[in-house]
Structure 1
Amino acid sequence: MTETAALFRWELPASDPIRTAAFERHLACPPAVARIIADRGIDDTKSFLSPSLADLHDPNLLLGLPEAVARIERALGSDEPVLIYGDYDVDGTTATVLLKTAIERVAPPGHPAKVTYHVPHRIREGYGMQTKVLGEAALTGIRLVISVDTGIRAFAAADEAKALGLDLIVTDHHLPDDVSGLPDALAVINPAQPNCPYPNKSLCGAAVAFKLAHALLTSHALRQPDPSRALDLLNSRIIPSFLKLVAIATIADSVPLIGENRAIAWLGLRELANPVQPGLRALMQVAKLPLDQAPTAMEVGFRLAPRINAAGRMDVAGDVVELLLTRDAAKAQMLAEKLDQLNQDRRATEAQALAAIDLQLAALKPYAPECIILDHADWHRGVLGILASRIVERTNRPALVLTHQDGQAHGSGRSIEGFHLLDALTAVDAPALFTKFGGHAHAVGLTIPSESLDELRHRMRLHATLHLTTEVLTPVLHCDAEIPLAAVDQTLYQWLQRLEPFGNAFPEPIFISRDLILTDPIRILKEKHVCLRLRDSNTSHAPFEALGWTRTIDWVAHTEGLEAGSRIDIAYRLRTSTYQQINRLQLELVDLKSTSMNSYLSS
């Protein structure tokens, strides 16, 4: 029998047994749950397990927000038309809906707000604010433009707005340019900008727009004849309703789900149970999500978000805004079905490109310690970010994926833990190389002359030589607790549900169980997945079913040589399945190795 080695280096955090024991006594929870709470630095368990609006920070802490509120109120008071300049992803489209809805709600009686929006076309316009759009807006009488989820590096657009006599309010969450500073705008609202006292520096773009909306709605409530009643209505009904879309964007944009972001996601997910707005209901129905219960963060991330993103990737993202604004059930159903079809088209397009990428990756093995940069003229710009993510999953290397049009290479990039991709692009852009670029530590967008692509590869190779160390390139599996298989029960599963939502910076717990016996031959499902039956070697508990889903790991190959009676250690997540109305616990494999192998665990 061939021994099976772990694919990752398993790590457990150093744990404080006294702190863990205190949480176990206080919460009456399983030891593994107490350890997770203790190790992840959670102190206020009441607020953590049951967040409230009180856990959201005061919007007025955002630099530039008072000036923005005053300018919008002035526009509404003088019947000025307002343009919201959005973006084509989940974050940008939901931000557009949130701000448009808020402005219309606070308009004076008898004077409906004149609010229009522009969501750019990914292919024809690309990312970011375009001076041409601003010029066209000025010709229609627009005098106030508000960007959402974009604009922090829109220096040319800001200068053009000033030249056209437009007041520009930038709301964004992307990192500012350390060299050029901020765009010349009436107000810049971004918690990541210098000198901004807002405590949460990692809001998504829709959350920043929500903060502006919240401040507008509060200002409006305070001017009502009965401010106390107006504020009570705002906090009990209106703000929770807004949080539905903020939660979707927060989860989809993969911002850290800790602190205020966790409260936003927790509260918003709860509001998503039985939504009233026709578009959201129709979207949940085509995504096959039940309407009588709140979805999980995983369901939002893997079912709702891809359908919303599909519009911007494959067609016109404005359809998402219309879907989330409409009160017409028939129109909502039509738009939801269109997004569902676009998502199917996106998946087919992605699969075709990924087949070509896998051939290129096979030629690159073994992978050098560098950023993998692949390009092809036929790849659809709408799926480049997804393709970059797939490369990162397959190679544990940062990746840039580009396609070409009219002499320009347009691309997206994704990175690994320990390699700041935006800093890397900033470093290699001297002397100037890119037409434009921006993003975060783990995700970027860029445009570069096609003829400069070889130079980009050269510069990134030099940069990676210094920063992609062996430690950074060694894949690490961060586990939470080592437990006997006998400790896996419904109580543990129910407590894990109470710890949700899981996401970036607060991942779903991964457990380790050792010295398990494979009770039956491995079953192969659909020629690519594996199903194992396992039990503790020192107990008589019934075997558990463990499933290995082949996506980034070829489980069929990884389990080759294992047979009934083999002893293995596994890292896994806990799942449940329903068969004949009976719920059963299952193990979702993350990694495994033969028990006789040397330990891969460090703590």
Structure 2
Amino acid sequence: MSTAHVGLPAWSTRSADETAVQNLVDALGCPHAIAQILVSRSISNPAAAQTFFNPTLDDLIDPMLMLGMETAVARIQHAVRSSQPILIYGDYDVDGTTATVLLKTAIERIAPKETPATVTYHVPHRIREGYGMQNGVLGQAAASGVRLVISVDTGIRAFAAAEEAKALGMDLIVTDHHLPDGAIGVPEAVAVLNPAQENCPYPFKHLCGAAVAFKLAHALLLAATETEEQRTKLKHGLIPSFLKLVAIATIADSVPLEGENRVIATLGLRELRNPVQPGLRALMQVAQIPINRPPTATEVGFRLAPRINAAGRMDIAGDVVELFLTKDAARATHLTEKLNRLNDERRATEAKALDAIEIQLTALRDTLGDYLAECIILDDPEWHRGVLGILASRVVDRTGRPAIVMTHEDGHAHGSGRSIAGFHLLDALSAIHEPVSESDTPLFTRFGGHAHAVGFSMPSDRTNLLRERMQRYGAPRLTAEIMTPPLECDAELLLSDLTQSFYDWLTRCEPFGIGNREPIFLTRALTLCAPVRFIKERHICLQLQRSGQTTHISALGWSRTTDWPARCVEMALDTGSLVDVAYRLKAKTNPQFPGLELELVDLRLA
């Protein structure tokens, strides 16, 4: 797919207090650029830096600080003691399925062996049921004897479902991380666990859904201990084991990898080395992730998570819950192979839709030039609902604009949206949802999400109204500064700075993601010491060196969001050209040719 021209961003280098930087250099013995990265990310004293580099289990926050936790634990304990059947109502993505596994496992752990807990779960079908709790499922649960329902990764806006549960004689505990409705508040329930809700004293507000469920699981397990020995065994045994799935969900759900999320991700990735549970082990093997070392956040995000998500996108997400619960290696292998096939099917479906999206984007470019100030809205009844979020992300990558992608079924439009920094997409949907006159009706039948990702449904005949309202809302807000932000580099380096020791320090800053992005470096006045080499006509490889020096380094440009061959032609690059480069530092993947290389982010003539 070609890249829309959204203007070349200016370059800047993030500022950092030099005194604080030097203090870290002296205290840690780290390179100046590493200290500069830490200080620019508000890690400005040696103690905070040590926690950043070496988080421990002691850095996990006390789950009892979360509003409603004490009540939730007491209600679940009562259900277990009274042998009341419990239903966990999950969601179909990585976050929801792993949350289901964590909570089911914890509740079953606290039950006496002579009277095991009856814990069932329901993971909705994306197409047939959609997101959120459905009254029909609650009715079936009540009829089967369920008296307690616990939602995971859903429920914070489930006002109707909460009323239905109450009417059916069932108690409800909501565990969620999505933003509550600011005007209405939270549903009526025995307890609502969500650090983002008003008046919740929990100090970290950006947990994913599985992490909120983990907090409840942790609190339940702690309450079940009676001795210091039991608490120590829990801390160093079961809790690290739970963090494997919480880390996967945290990375997959794109929550900020800072604060407690960084602790969860770092510790969980370490625990993923050589996993024992058959499903997790089989999944890592089919994703071709070595099990003799901890995986990286990139491997989890781009190899594990898509296969887990494929079940909910293309088929039945309940297979994921079974995969992570089974102790049968043969069953785990069968389920893993199924997820792998579904992921291949998802990729083919996505590729076909992307071809159609390119046609629509070309038409928009021809009509609107640089898209003016629009949020891009595309729709096609042929697109699979399971890949809408991925498609929206691809459009954002290629255009630098917020994007909404929809499909239609039985007179209803179903959409997913993804946004850019500086444009709060859930706020936008909330604003355009409200009627603008007495004769209008609310736009959506349901919607939710957060700043960067949303989902919704509405009657198909309101599609043009959606476009009109989004254009009106976005025009004054989607400024040139938001759509073409400066490229922030973390430090300016010389080629001589790029040593293996420096790279080792850089890897200690992992895992990278939102809130702890992979650092971008800037090096000026490098000379091309060979012609540009084109890779499969889409990518490029440059050989760069400092003028007057003999050592050189490779710089690779992968045309995911930038058409690098076209840029090279535009700049008339050839042997001897002098360039400035913005890049990420990488280790070469071929063991026969060890060393470091650059991954191009931007390129300018010096």
Q: TM (normalized to structure 1)?
A: 0.96
Match of 1:218 among 202, 218, 222: 222
CA distance in structure 1 between the partners assigned to 2:485 and 2:529 by the alignment: 30
Are the aligned partners of 1:7 and 1:591 in contact in 2 as well (CA < 8 Å)? no
How do residues 352-371 of structure 1 correspond to structure 2 at under 5 angstroms?
352-365=352-365, 366=369, 367-371=371-375
Are the aligned partners of 2:7 and 2:484 in contact in 1 as well (CA < 8 Å)? no
Query: Are 2:412 and 1:403 equivalent residues in the alignment?
Result: no
Query: Are 2:583 and 1:579 equivalent residues in the alignment?
Result: no
CA distance in structure 2 between the partners assigned to 1:6 and 1:581 by the alignment: 39
Amino acid in structure 2 at the alignment position of 1:505: G
CA distance in structure 2 between the partners assigned to 1:188 and 1:368 by the alignment: 42
Deviation at 1:15, TM superposition (A): 2.0
Provide the residue aligned with 1:547 in structure 2: 556
Deviation at 1:416, TM superposition (A): 0.5
Provide the residue aligned with 1:492 in structure 2: 502
CA distance in structure 2 between the partners assigned to 1:290 and 1:532 by the alignment: 30
Provide the residue aligned with 2:302 in structure 1: 302
Deviation at 1:581, TM superposition (A): 3.9
Provide the residue aligned with 1:133 in structure 2: 137
Query: Are 2:144 and 1:143 equivalent residues in the alignment?
Result: no
Match of 1:459 among 460, 464, 469: 469
Give CA-to-partner distance per residue, 1:130-180, whole Å, 9 cap, x none.
Answer: 111101111111110000000000011001001100100000000000112
Are the aligned partners of 1:99 and 1:209 in contact in 2 as well (CA < 8 Å)? yes
CA distance in structure 1 between the partners assigned to 2:447 and 2:373 by the alignment: 23
Are the aligned partners of 1:275 and 1:291 in contact in 2 as well (CA < 8 Å)? yes
Instruction: Say if 1:177 and 1:246 are closer, same or farther in 2 by CA, change over 3 A.
Output: same
Partner SS for 2:20: helix
Partner SS for 1:466: coil
Are the aligned partners of 1:24 and 1:34 in contact in 2 as well (CA < 8 Å)? yes
Query: How many residues end up aligned between the 2 structures?
Result: 587
Are the aligned partners of 1:83 and 1:146 in contact in 2 as well (CA < 8 Å)? yes
Query: Are 2:105 and 1:105 equivalent residues in the alignment?
Result: no
Are the aligned partners of 2:489 and 2:521 in contact in 1 as well (CA < 8 Å)? yes
Are the aligned partners of 1:106 and 1:216 in contact in 2 as well (CA < 8 Å)? yes
Provide the residue aligned with 2:416 in structure 1: 412
Give CA-to-partner distance per residue, 1:188-230, whole Å, 9 cap, x none.
Answer: 00000010000011000000000000000000013xxxx1111
How do residues 451-530 of structure 1 correspond to structure 2 at under 5 angstroms?
451-530=461-540
Deviation at 1:541, TM superposition (A): 4.3
CA distance in structure 2 between the partners assigned to 1:322 and 1:413 by the alignment: 30
Amino acid in structure 2 at the alignment position of 1:39: S
CA distance in structure 1 between the partners assigned to 2:586 and 2:354 by the alignment: 29
Query: Are 2:404 and 1:393 equivalent residues in the alignment?
Result: no
Query: Are 2:550 and 1:569 equivalent residues in the alignment?
Result: no
How do residues 198-237 of structure 1 correspond to structure 2 at under 5 angstroms?
198-222=202-226, 227-237=227-237
CA distance in structure 1 between the partners assigned to 2:507 and 2:263 by the alignment: 15
Provide the residue aligned with 2:287 in structure 1: 287
Are the aligned partners of 1:191 and 1:202 in contact in 2 as well (CA < 8 Å)? yes
Provide the residue aligned with 1:588 in structure 2: 599
Partner SS for 2:225: helix
Amino acid in structure 2 at the alignment position of 1:553: T
Partner SS for 2:594: strand
Q: TM (normalized to structure 2)?
A: 0.95
Give CA-to-partner distance per residue, 1:229-258, whole Å, 9 cap, x none.
Answer: 110110011101000000010111111111
Provide the residue aligned with 1:24 in structure 2: 25
Provide the residue aligned with 1:248 in structure 2: 248
Amino acid in structure 1 at the alignment position of 2:166: K
CA distance in structure 2 between the partners assigned to 1:332 and 1:197 by the alignment: 40
Deviation at 1:10, TM superposition (A): 1.8
Partner SS for 2:181: coil
Amino acid in structure 2 at the alignment position of 1:236: H
Amino acid in structure 2 at the alignment position of 1:148: V
Are the aligned partners of 1:486 and 1:536 in contact in 2 as well (CA < 8 Å)? no
RMSD over aligned Cα atoms: 1.3
Deviation at 1:477, TM superposition (A): 1.9
Identity, in percent, stands at 63
Provide the residue aligned with 2:445 in structure 1: 435
Amino acid in structure 2 at the alignment position of 1:317: A
Which shifted more, 286-295 or 548-557?
A: 548-557
Amino acid in structure 1 at the alignment position of 2:208: C
Are the aligned partners of 2:100 and 2:152 in contact in 1 as well (CA < 8 Å)? yes
Are the aligned partners of 2:8 and 2:484 in contact in 1 as well (CA < 8 Å)? no
Provide the residue aligned with 1:338 in structure 2: 338
Structure 1: state its 5+ residue gaps: 596-603
Deviation at 1:583, TM superposition (A): 1.8
CA distance in structure 2 between the partners assigned to 1:110 and 1:10 by the alignment: 66
Amino acid in structure 1 at the alignment position of 2:566: A
Provide the residue aligned with 1:278 in structure 2: 278
Deviation at 1:578, TM superposition (A): 4.1
Deviation at 1:580, TM superposition (A): 4.8
CA distance in structure 2 between the partners assigned to 1:351 and 1:9 by the alignment: 32
Higher relative contact order (Cα pairs below 8 Å, separated by 6+ residues): 1
Provide the residue aligned with 1:311 in structure 2: 311
Partner SS for 1:579: coil
CA distance in structure 2 between the partners assigned to 1:541 and 1:333 by the alignment: 52
Are the aligned partners of 1:486 and 1:541 in contact in 2 as well (CA < 8 Å)? no
CA distance in structure 1 between the partners assigned to 2:589 and 2:380 by the alignment: 44
Partner SS for 1:583: coil
Structure 2: state its 5+ residue gaps: 1-5, 436-441
Provide the residue aligned with 1:154 in structure 2: 158
Deviation at 1:56, TM superposition (A): 1.0
